[in-house]
Structure formats: C-alpha cells, structure tokens
Amino acid sequence: MSNLSEAELIHKFKGISFTTRSSPELLNSLDAFDAREDDVLLVSYPKSGTHWLAGVITKLYNTPVTLTTPIELGDMSKLEELNQLSSKRIIPTHLDYNMLPQHFKNKKCKMIYISRNPKDTAVSMYHYYRENPNLPTVDTWTAFLDLFLEGDVVCGSWFDHFLSWEEHKNDKNILFLFYEDMKKNLPKIVKEISIFLGISISDEDIQDICKKSSFSEMKKDTEKENSDPSHTVCALTSNRKLIFRKGTVGDWKNHFTPKQNLQFDEVFSEKMKLSKMAKHLTYEF
C-alpha cells in the first residue's frame, strides 16, 4: 500500500492520468522521437497481456532483438537511451493511438495491439492498484469500478483506448490480437504474428515457442528474473512479481455483483455502440 499522496503518484497529461514515472517532459517530447522502419510496437491497455505477448514475440526472432521498457516510462534521458540501441527494437507502450509518436505512424512501423475483455481487465487492474506502491490506494472494488468506468485510472478510459486503435483496424501495419484467443489457441496466434512480422518459422518451432510461453511457464520465468527491474514492459511498475496474477478468462464473475454487471454493460453498450470489433471480446470460455 502506498504512503505517498495521489498528487505525488499521478499527473494528468492531455486529460489522461499517468504515473509520475512517466515525466511530463518525456510525454511532451515524444513526437520528436525518431522511430526506425524496423521498430515493432507492442501496444496494450494495462493488464491486457503485454508481458505474455512480449515473451512470445522475442522468442520468434533468431537474430538479436532488444525488448525496451515502455516508450513513455522515464524522463528525458529515455529518448537518448532508445536512440543508442543498435539492434532491432521491440517497444512496448500503453499510449492510445492519438498520443503515439508521429514518426511511428509516418514510417508505417509494425504495431501489434492486444486487448482483453474489459471486465477481466478492470479486475486485474484493481488488484494491481492494491499491490502497487506506484499507484494511489483504492479501498474497495466498488470504488475502483466507478473510477474504471469513468476512465479516471492510469492510461485513461479503456473504451477510448480501444476505440482510438480500432479506428486504424484496416491499416496494413497494425495487427489486432485478443488475449482470450491467445489463451484458447496460442499456436494459431503465434503463426499469425510470425506472418505479420515476416518471420518464417516451422510448425515444430511454433509448438516449442508455445510450450515455453504458457502462462505458468512465463510467470515462473518472470519471478525468477524479478531482480532485474530494467526488464519490465509495463509502465506502471518494475516489480515483476506484480505482472502475472491469474491470467484466467472470466475471473470478473468472482468480483462483479449482478448490479455492477448491469452498470458495466450499460456503459459498454453506450460507449461501444459504433465499434465493430467489440463483438469479438470473449468474457468466458
């Protein structure tokens, strides 16, 4: 639990809450960032499977790749640090499309957006808030759910984030993935990613990657590497023990009351009424 005040932990940038680990100066200067054509962006709203996806993708390459920390994490030295990396960069981010540095768009860098059904995302974020000293204290699930539905949480509204990326669903350089599909059929998704990234890989290798990338394997690996905070691909913490919790689909049912579920569905249908992709979200298996 955090002893710091909310003002010391959170600041607003363009109306969206960020932790103070993302400095306003850095956020302001992201548009000056010089993307490279071979950069690959891993995009997600927090708690949507970024670490899992990063683990899968780094295993696909035979050549050296550098998985960086999120582009929006740090201070002004961050951009210089990224510039100095020579090998292929895999760059995670929780930014919505509108905040993404312009050069990534101009250079048509490949971007992979992973989303997870927002009920499980909300539950996962709730536990994260409770355990993460970099985030303000929330007392109850009910209080947190209200904040989540209002978009008054780090990285802003889940709905706005999803919709800002969905507007670009037909861009050739963007691949959309769903966390629940990864849980259900990882080999199929790994194949899809490899085709998108132009990596040729045998079915045997795909099976091998999937074995090494099961949720429980990666949770084990992550906790082993916990001593190295520079490894994190999450902009909200460097404590890797907080990264993998349950990873199940449908955990929301253990938290939502029928009334909260109704409240959520109402907000969802209002916000997402024009979304074509919303119907692909899976809430249980």
Active site amino acids: 94
Count CB neighbours of 20 within 10 A. 13
CA 273/CA 4 separation, integer angstroms:
39
- Given a contact cutoff of 8 angstroms between Cβ atoms, the answer to whether 243 and 222 are in contact is yes
- The encoded tokens of residue 165 equal 């990326």
Q: Which residues contact 35 (CB under 8 A, 6 or more apart)?
A: 101, 103, 104, 106, 107, 109
Question: Minimal CA–CA distance to 241: which of 230, 229, 226, 221?
Answer: 226
- Give the C-alpha separation, 155 to 45, whole Å: 7
Angstrom distance (rounded) from CA 146 to CA 152: 8
> At residue 200, what is the residue type?
S
Residue 74's DSSP bridge partners are: 22
What is the C-alpha separation between 242 and 148, in angstroms, rounded? 19
Give, for 244, the enclosing helix (H) or strand (E): none
Question: With b meaning 16 or more CB within 10 Å and e meaning fewer, what string describes 74-87?
Answer: beeebbeebeeeee
Complete edge-to-edge strand list for the sheet that includes strand 174-178: 65-67, 88-93, 40-44, 110-115, 174-178
